[in-house]
A and B are shown apart, each in its own frame.
Chain A
Amino acid sequence: MSSATATAPNYELIQQDGLDTGLLEVSMGPHHPSTHGVFRMDVKLDGETVVDLSPVFGYLHRNHEKLAENMSYLGSMPFTDRLDYFNSMTNNWAYALAAEKLVEIEVPERAEYLRVIMAELTRLVNHLSLVGFFVNDLGALGTPLLYAFREREKILDLFEQASGARMMCNYFRFGGLRNDVPEGWLDRAREVVDRFPVFLDEYEKLLCENEIILSRTQGVGNLSRDLAISAGITGPMLRASGERYDLRKVDRYGIYDRFQFRVPYSDGDVGDCYDRFIVRMLEMRESIGILKQALDGIEHGPVLGNAPKVFKPKPAEVYGRVEAPKGELGFYLIADGTPKPYRYRVRPPSLINLTVLRDMCLGQKVADAVIILGSIDIVLGEVDR
């Protein structure tokens, strides 16, 4: 293009040897409702078919890691809420887990139970919203998403009662939790958990047999198991590609070894958008099972272990990871004996799962690129940090 004008279109026809090749380069985003935030896809199109795609991100970069390196260990706990702002509880847990490895703190029994309860409620919140947004991308505007948000609201109320905030909970501490849940909270949680399967039945009836969803998602956005493993994909996306890998089973962090639950995964070698959607629906059922067991098993007791008053770990390198709803969320810390971490690194599942976007989109229609992106389940706060 010779010069930018006020009415410059956001696409250009590609010229090759002075001839019009017919390929069209479209810049989708950063302000596009389908990109789930400020994210841009540079798509090269042949007609409607995607022939090349490059993701462009970084618009939401907030210097998270460097900020944390200039702050006390506790100080960056509230910042971890803002990584993946749908799942602040699991973010807190991953960071607390890493820091607890630096100084050996025993986490009390009740705190471990509450951590599992919070993490599984978070998983429900995340998968609900993901499914809602996913069908929203498919064109089911509003209704399924609003049903999902209606149920999410009940869980957010529980978070507010426990931690004081609905989304930016900042609830976990090194060695336990900031405070115990208020009286009657466990009963309220049980009520929400008991009613949840009724909603899930209805939701499955609404979506899982819908012919439009089936024809739009099956065979779209294929991701083979080999590629998923070599690209470091984790979470429901990896399980949808046929690999049975769940950190709750592999690491058994916290007290996950005490609960009976299954890990849903697809039995083929290739996962498509429908697999990713169904794996998440099934995971919600398993989360409810874990929640019921945890709510039955919880007992009274303290919720904060003997954490040192001044958090000043000896020089060490640790890596703490949890199975966040989006995949493996890890925090890598290097302590140098001062109250601040020398290096603080986040392994964000959203970013790493996003790396295979191009491979999944090539050869698909441009409208499918949108739902493939939706099925990855990214949150830009975590991708860009």
Chain B
Amino acid sequence: MSLLGGGILKGMAVTLRNFVGSYFDRDRLTTNDYAWRAGDSLPQHAGEYPKEEGEQLRDTTTVSQYSRNFPMLLHDEGEAMDTIRCVACQICERECPPQCIYIEKSTEKMERGGNKAQFYPAKFDIDVSVCMSCQICVEVCPFDAIVMNSQFELSTSNRFGGLLLRRDDLLKSNGYYHKIHPEEAAARDRRMAEEKAAKEAKKKAAAEAARKKAEEKAKAEAEADDKKQEDTQ
């Protein structure tokens, strides 16, 4: 290095290039609106974000379809409490690392969608001030009843009750889930359909096997009867 201060000048050329370049190339902007995502043009009203529930998921919002925030409870099409998937098995309550879930099981069982009658949660509270969005509850749930929401407008002036989400706040339809996480929801539905089909096929096979066994038994009995008759003759 010959010129003292040459390195500094070189560095300043870089900052100058970045400063001028930032007017023409978004990749050089250091302070972009958080809403902006690579590969999209700057939003018309930078800084605007969804105001209504579920109104999001253009790339210009702060929420992408992959992000997760806090859990929600799923129900199928129809009245929320009639089609709730949760059967209050309390696995998520036990597994939750920061222990932010509180469940009270119902006293009587309820039938939904032609399936076997099951319990339902009389109370299902999540304290989102404790929740750490880790998604362990989603993973351990055997009924696909709890998934992650991406709603983030949760600030409240109520310090105590405001961040405690009750069962009815948490209940969201499967359609809403499809709206906020299209890829994930489709994959989940596919898997559930497969599992259901496999279960039914197994049931069918079991029924078939039972029928066959019964037939064989009847046949064997009939043969035995024949033999008996022959013996007596």
Binding site for B on A (CB under 8 A): 71-72, 74-79, 81, 143, 146-147, 149-150, 154, 157, 160-162, 164-166, 168, 170, 178, 182-183, 202, 205-212, 214
B95 touches A75 (CB 8 A): yes
For chain B, the bracket of interface size reads 20 to 34
Let me know if B15 is at the binding interface, CB within 8 A: yes
| A78 CB contact (under 8 Å) in B37, B67, B134 | B134
Cα A234 to Cα B135 with chains together (Å):
33
Q: Which residue of A lies closest to B181 (CB)?
A: A164
From B2-10, B101-109, B113-121, B209-217, the one touching the partner chain is B2-10
Let me know if B152 is at the binding interface, CB within 8 A: no
Most buried by A among B11, B15, B28: B11
A211 touches B15 (CB 8 A): no
Binding site for A on B (CB under 8 A): 1, 4-8, 10-11, 13-15, 17-18, 28-31, 37-38, 64, 66-68, 95, 97, 132-136, 139, 148, 183
Q: Which residue of A lies closest to B19 (CB)?
A: A143
With both chains docked as a complex, state the minimum distance between the C-beta of A298 and any C-beta of chain B, in angstroms: 19
With both chains docked as a complex, state the minimum distance between the C-beta of B197 and any C-beta of chain A, in angstroms: 20
A71 touches B67 (CB 8 A): no
Known: A77-B136, A182-B66. 8 other contacts (CB 8 A): A75-B95, A78-B135, A160-B66, A164-B66, A166-B67, A170-B135, A182-B183, A211-B5
B-chain residues with CB within 8 Å of residue A76 when the two chains form the complex: 97
A-chain residues with CB within 8 Å of residue B148 when the two chains form the complex: 164
Cα A66 to Cα B23 with chains together (Å):
52
A160 touches B67 (CB 8 A): yes
Most buried by A among B7, B38, B133, B183: B7
A74 touches B136 (CB 8 A): yes
A210 touches B7 (CB 8 A): yes
B-chain residues with CB within 8 Å of residue A154 when the two chains form the complex: 38
A-chain residues with CB within 8 Å of residue B64 when the two chains form the complex: 157, 160-161
B-chain residues with CB within 8 Å of residue A182 when the two chains form the complex: 66, 183
What are 13 A-B residue pairs whose CB atoms fall within 8 Å in the complex?
Answer: A74-B136, A77-B134, A78-B97, A150-B28, A150-B30, A160-B64, A168-B134, A205-B13, A209-B7, A209-B10, A210-B7, A211-B6, A212-B8
B15 touches A143 (CB 8 A): yes
A205 touches B136 (CB 8 A): no
Cα A147 to Cα B28 with chains together (Å):
8
B-chain residues with CB within 8 Å of residue A161 when the two chains form the complex: 64, 66
The 5 closest A-B pairs by CB, nearest first: A209-B7, A78-B134, A164-B68, A146-B30, A206-B14
Cα A78 to Cα B7 with chains together (Å):
44
Q: Is the interface of A mostly helix, strand, loop or mixed?
A: helix
B-chain residues with CB within 8 Å of residue A211 when the two chains form the complex: 4-8
A-chain residues with CB within 8 Å of residue B133 when the two chains form the complex: 165, 168
A72 touches B95 (CB 8 A): yes
Cα A110 to Cα B229 with chains together (Å):
67
Q: Which residue of B lies closest to A81 (CB)?
A: B134
With both chains docked as a complex, state the minimum distance between the C-beta of B29 and any C-beta of chain A, in angstroms: 7
With both chains docked as a complex, state the minimum distance between the C-beta of B200 and any C-beta of chain A, in angstroms: 22
A-chain residues with CB within 8 Å of residue B136 when the two chains form the complex: 74-75, 77-78, 170
Cα A282 to Cα B15 with chains together (Å):
22
Cα A214 to Cα B7 with chains together (Å):
10
A-chain residues with CB within 8 Å of residue B7 when the two chains form the complex: 208-211, 214
| B139 CB contact (under 8 Å) in A150, A178, A214 | A178
Most buried by B among A162, A209, A214: A209
Most buried by A among B38, B68, B134, B183: B134
Q: Which residue of A lies closest to B5 (CB)?
A: A211
| A149 CB contact (under 8 Å) in B6, B30, B68, B134 | B30
A164 touches B67 (CB 8 A): yes
B-chain residues with CB within 8 Å of residue A147 when the two chains form the complex: 18, 30
B-chain residues with CB within 8 Å of residue A162 when the two chains form the complex: 66
With both chains docked as a complex, state the minimum distance between the C-beta of B58 and any C-beta of chain A, in angstroms: 16
A209 touches B1 (CB 8 A): yes
Cα A115 to Cα B7 with chains together (Å):
38
B-chain residues with CB within 8 Å of residue A166 when the two chains form the complex: 67
Cα A183 to Cα B10 with chains together (Å):
41
Q: Which residue of A lies closest to B97 (CB)?
A: A75
A-chain residues with CB within 8 Å of residue B139 when the two chains form the complex: 74, 178
With both chains docked as a complex, state the minimum distance between the C-beta of A346 and any C-beta of chain B, in angstroms: 16
Q: Given A147-B30, A164-B135 in contact, is the A206-B97 Cβ separation under 8 Å?
A: no
